[in-house]
Structure 1
């Protein structure tokens, strides 16, 4: 069964097994296949063979999707029954109205789609409602609901707050009183030690109840009178990283016994590139992403501390190790924010969408190339640490000249290592460089030098390695068949636009978003590892006589996104999230619920 996202309780169990059994958990958690029994002969740059690992990955992913669709709830009674079976509680008050809202908007009501909400909110049941309300009101950037009206609170104009306020305002007449603090930084801000989160989750599980339907309360409390109470402001104790950087803070959110907690890489000399790519090769399915959730989790990928700008030197870090309500658009698997649909997705901004109506033309009319344009973001890329940054690595790996030089230098470039071509059944003798020359169009339009100068796109320590390319609006990118999507300072705000296009997204990330349990890798998009060591194999697969397969995924992803990633779906997700959040912050939360379906029967 599809497990793109597990519940927090599921992660606790899985990681507890990992603590006990060590590498047994590590090697048995990979989802798809036994490599020993899998097919191994496939495209070698000069022919076509149906026995390719990607074929197997696609077959299993399609089965996962078929199984997922069988769990759709067509009526309120079924939705409530599936809620209780999965969550161990009555649905929250307002659930009937939420279901009607979702069905009126022609939404697929599949309980798995909302797993992220419970993954995020479960630990908060361990905190007292009064304390949660105090914490929430202490954050200056927040949206409040009072008497069915959404109120924007901010200490100064902040990026994207207006968009989030607009999203919530569309729902304000349906929502109870609440205060939702929002993280306005690119980077995530909460890393609660795993041991603390585990304690909170166990406390929630021990206290989980489903009271008699006759005793359930169906109305949320009002916060208007409580606003008059004077409470001491809560101090989240946001702090900057200690010596050792953000990795030292972030890995505390990983379970004991995990590779991240057990592994400390030696001091890295960035004059010699880091080659920690072996971990992905071990966990992959014949060199390709088999379990996207696992592949993008730094807890099992400690090499990310030297292969991703988030851990090398993020633009800004202000992190707390306390659990407090804080909403945001993305987070790392070890972070504790409550995920919302990102403001970039809600805002009708052509820079991130290409335009609400501009999704690209017919597949057959597109250029048979992968295209990428953007700035060299990801953090403060300095001399010499830039060789560990993800976007810089990708740009080097898709540059034919850099690859040709690496082929002559024991497969090493200044900031990357080439895969073993034999593992991907790729021909040598210039095949990869020819593929890149003929089928890629990529480049930075700004090198984002440190110190940063917006007016100057050049950078003295990066200029020898990267030639600037002219910028390209997203709607022009849709003229190309293949759209690699990479992390920047955090998640990529382009992904929803790419998914809604008629082109094929190739997604690499270490960040989680609200929609992760709605999308099936290898059916709706192509997953790629953040080392990008699988990129050549992915492109060779589709270019080797499988254009129709690429078209199938691209159009299936578009059609599916038009069902589950619409603006209406962002409203439906936010609506349900805030009903659940308001219940947790209510003094009578153990008795709040929806039970009319039971009482009626």
Structure 2
């Protein structure tokens, strides 16, 4: 890379840049083993040192031409021009090197600092001065480490000794990090530390080897390249490549929701291009990797021209003339019509049988299917054909023998919080005693089953009475059992689209239940990550950057620029959302009862996408006790308070991570005017009054909290002097929360139902809100038996768990108007002052009322007690066949065929 660089050094430069780019996109959270692997590769490379390019003497800058001689020659050159003086300043002056370094660094910083902040709470808890001081100290230490490493390698006389020294550095770093890790875990066991999620398998070994090799190639190449120069050349080029790539990525998004900072991305590209052009001459770099510096400077000039064109074009043309929510509401109507066509196309029993075979790979329905069909029709069920959730939950158990399933049932019922529902001789019963707190729940469940128990074979079902699901089986095991089920004729795909990318595995018998006595939060997160397919973001590890908003995590399930939630089902899958481990209380609350890792049958009322529980409608104790006193809400929507209401209660134990990233805590913090003074929220703002065009803008969150009708807060908290005031200030619960036009429902606290936020604060559940004339806004990762029956933007309004779309979504329905603004002479309320101008955003009350009505009608039609019984009957009919010997031959036989 220096003057007179050889082809070998150019190859080293290419290897250094290539390994740097590889590590930037692939290295994961297994640093210790990677350092050890890199040390081994470096030591192995020392045996081939003769083949490696670079000087075998000590490092050092080559002597320049004596200044006095050169200056005297230049003074006598009468043909010199101003351009010659500028060229000499660029190539010889230390100021030019400083300025070029400053340009590249500042440009890279601007390119990487435009991301929106996440809702993870930092400002209210941390000393910002201390944090910034530690960041500067860390930057200084990084520089010291680089210089010291360079000096250590500089005194090595040969490439061989240089590489041996490098391997020793890797080994010492790994040992030192390991000792530090062990010490911290010993004295501060609650401190979360990074670790791998993959487990010791072939894929993990492959990743460790490739990442270790890449680290070794990077440092070996860098040590060889710096024989003639300081590390500044290589570091500058790394910064240039990374900064320019990020800058161009942001520049292409200028004007859209993903990048609303007009001019900043353009300035970043300009600074990087100018800084790089000066840097290659000031640092005497003849070639950047394999490209001559003249060509590089020419490319930088061309890049500036294109950057200017792109910036101007994007800023002028990136406007929206139709709101994304308006589009999704329209599409929701057609989607609901298509769903009803697919879900209830069968108008007779023979058609229902054929539809069953078509959906589930040619398999015949279970015995007594005709009785189930009659039960569904008699109860006016609008859903006859769509029970894919049942098939999804039960399918893996076809890969386990009936005797093993029955054995696992006897084991799992001994676990805390598990009751046994038994059907024998056409009658249902349960295992709980009369004095059990959940006896009423099981009584209610038995009452439901006894309506159709006479049509069921003898069977046993372990019922999970906790809010937490219980079975968290690794992805590989679920896939293995599913593949075995397919071999037995149970067709249709279960797993993700990545299923076909993994080779066939030989099915093996399931293991016995392996149940530890307790489990840490980190171990629980590791178990959760292992339920995702290899290669997914969550399987790779936790998203470490809690400060910035993870756009790649939300893009797969969001509309356009990642603001409004568009795919509700995808938003409930954790495998592409590695940041959720920091943003939902469920993932950093240690379960009171450790989950089971083996695939065993447990029937639960709800679960996340990582669990293998079988979903059924199980009433809660609160629902059973309030059932007799429940009155339907039929009040007029327009007479309700136009506000978004939510009340919660903090549950113990309250940890530091819960206060920072808990979904309830983040919500309260976000809508507090005191806590959000420095934060910004992305909004779709009208640009004028003549045409209905809008553009995304960043608006102070505190202003939006003042303008929008939020009635959100805790009704009870755990007192502590370390809590910020916005979390400890409690708000009284409304006597009737359903008297508000909008009601937000969240996942409850991860503890038992008795301590859940809904029960503690008398907050309505999602179903009770859906059955009312209030618009339900739902932010949830949990699936229930009824989840596939609901259509977002038709029956309810979905909100991403990060709450970044909460303000923009509510503003779409309630509008924006200045609260403190006086009316004009015609009596019209003035718009809100946003970003220095008056903005008028009309309300969409009619659309909100329509969603409330559609949700209430559908709940009263498809989510009744009778629909729960139809669903439960279908699950138990399928399960009765799974646990029976000779199940492959068990099927529904029409009465005509029997004769």
Question: Is the structural similarity TM-score above 0.5?
Answer: yes
Contact 1:348 1:356 in 2 (8 A): no
Please list, as runs of the form range in 1=range in 2, the aligned pairs for 1:545-560 lying within 5 A after superposition: 545-560=843-858
How far 1:75 moved relative to its partner? 1.8
- The whole-number CA distance in structure 2 between the counterparts of 1:156 and 1:406 is 56
Is the alpha carbon distance of 1:161 and 1:295 closer, same or farther for their aligned partners in structure 2, counting shifts above 3 Å? Answer: farther
Partners of 1:196 and 1:156 in 2: CA distance? 38
1:427 is displaced (CA, Å) by 6.8
Residue 527 of structure 1, aligned match among 798, 818, 827: 798
Match for 1:124 among 397, 401, 406?
397
Q: Is the 8 A contact 2:426 2:457 kept in 1?
A: yes
1:522 match: secondary structure? coil
Q: Is the 8 A contact 2:777 2:796 kept in 1?
A: yes
User: Per the alignment, in what secondary structure is the counterpart of residue 444 of structure 1?
Assistant: strand
Higher relative contact order (CA 8 A, sep 6+): 1
> For the residues of structure 1 that align with 2:323 and 2:591, how far apart are their CA atoms?
41
Q: Could you tell me whether the CA contact under 8 Å between 2:553 and 2:576 is conserved in 1?
A: no
SS in 1 for 2:522: coil
Evaluate the alpha carbon distance shift between residue 323 and residue 262 of structure 1 in structure 2; reply closer, same or farther with a 3 A threshold.
same
Distance 2:661 2:467 in 1: 19
| Cα root mean square deviation, aligned | 3.2
1:321 corresponds to which of 575, 578, 597:
597
2:464 paired with 1:190: no
SS class of match (1:334): coil
- Structure 1 Cα separation of the partners of residues 553 and 515 of structure 2: 36
- Using the alignment, how far apart are the partners of 1:509 and 1:341 within structure 2? 18
2:542 equivalent among 264, 268, 273: 264
- Select 2:457's aligned residue among 176, 180, 183: 176
Structure 2 unmatched runs, 5+: 1-251, 258-319, 492-510, 687-693, 751-755, 759-763, 816-842
CA contact (8 A) 1:381 1:389 kept: no
What CA distance in whole angstroms lies between the structure 2 residues aligned with 1:346 and 1:93? 35
Q: Distance in 1 between matches of 2:810 and 2:621?
A: 28
Partner of 2:720: 459
Alpha-carbon distance between aligned partners in 1 of 2:621 and 2:435, rounded to the nearest angstrom: 20
SS at match of 1:241: coil
Shift of 1:83: 0.8
1:440 paired residue number: 710
**Structure 1 pair 241/461, CA: closer, same or farther in 2 (3 Å)?**
same
Correspondence for 2:369: 95
TM norm structure 1: 0.78
The size of the alignment, in residue pairs, is 508
Structure 1 residue 294: Cα displacement: 1.2
Q: 1:406 aligns with which of 678, 701, 724?
A: 678
* Structure 1 SS opposite 2:860: helix
Please state how far the C-alpha of 1:208 moved relative to its aligned partner: 1.1
CA distance in 2 between counterparts of 1:585 and 1:238 reads: 27
Give 1:262 deviation, angstroms: 1.6
Q: 1:488 Cα deviation (Å)?
A: 1.8
CA distance in 2: counterparts of 1:145 and 1:249, whole angstroms: 33
More helix by percentage:
2
Answer yes or no: is 1:539 the counterpart of 2:810: yes
| Aligned counterpart, 1:20 | none
Per-residue CA deviations over 1:173-192 (Å, capped at 9, x if unaligned) read 33321111122222222111
Q: Flag the 1:422–1:255 CA change in 2: closer, same or farther, 3 A.
A: farther
Q: Does 1:471 align with 2:733?
A: yes
Q: Indicate the SS of the match to 2:564.
A: coil
Mapped partners of 2:846, 2:621: distance in 1: 29
Q: What corresponds to 1:376 in structure 2? A: 650
> 3-state DSSP class of the match of 1:185?
coil
Query: Which of residues 266, 278, 290 in structure 1 aligns to 2:566?
Result: 290
Aligned mates of 2:526, 2:628 — CA distance in 1: 38
Corresponding residue for residue 633 of structure 2: 359
Cα distance between partner residues in 2 of 1:56 and 1:501: 25
1:555-566 matched pairs, under 5 angstroms: 555-566=853-864
When residues 151 and 236 of structure 1 are mapped into structure 2, their CA distance, relative to the original with a 3 A threshold, is farther
Distance 1:471 1:317, change over 3 A: same
Contact 2:402 2:885 in 1 (8 A): yes
Q: 1:435 to 1:237 in 2, by over 3 A?
A: closer
The change in CA–CA distance for 1:400 and 1:129 in structure 2 (over 3 A counts) is same
Q: Is the 8 A contact 1:135 1:325 kept in 2?
A: yes
Structure 1 unmatched ranges of 5 or more: 1-35, 42-48, 211-232, 412-417, 450-457
Deviations 1:543-588 (A, max 9, x none): 1321000111111011011111101111110111011111100002
The residue that corresponds to 1:220 in the other structure is none
The answer to whether the 8 A contact 1:361-1:478 is kept is no
Deviations 1:19-66 (A, max 9, x none): xxxxxxxxxxxxxxxxx9xx989xxxxxxx971001111222211111
Question: Helix, strand or coil: the match of 1:575?
Answer: helix
In 2 relative to 1, CA 236–438 (structure 1 residues): closer, same or farther, beyond 3 Å?
A: same
Are the aligned partners of 1:184 and 1:328 in contact in 2 as well (CA < 8 Å)?
Answer: yes
SS in 2 for 1:170: helix
2:765 to 464, 479, 494: 494
- For 1:237 and 1:142, the matched residues in 2 are separated by 19
How much has 1:156 moved relative to structure 2? 9.1
State how far apart, in whole Å, the 1-side matches of 2:376 and 2:776 are.
27
Q: Which moved more, 1:150-159 or 1:103-112?
A: 150-159
Distance change >3 Å, CA 40–CA 243, structure 1 → 2: closer
Alpha carbons 1:525, 1:554 under 8 Å: kept? yes
2-structure distance, mates of 1:132, 1:502:
45
Q: Structure 1 residues 169, 346: closer, same or farther in 2, change over 3 A?
A: farther
Worse-superposed segment, 547-556 or 180-189:
180-189
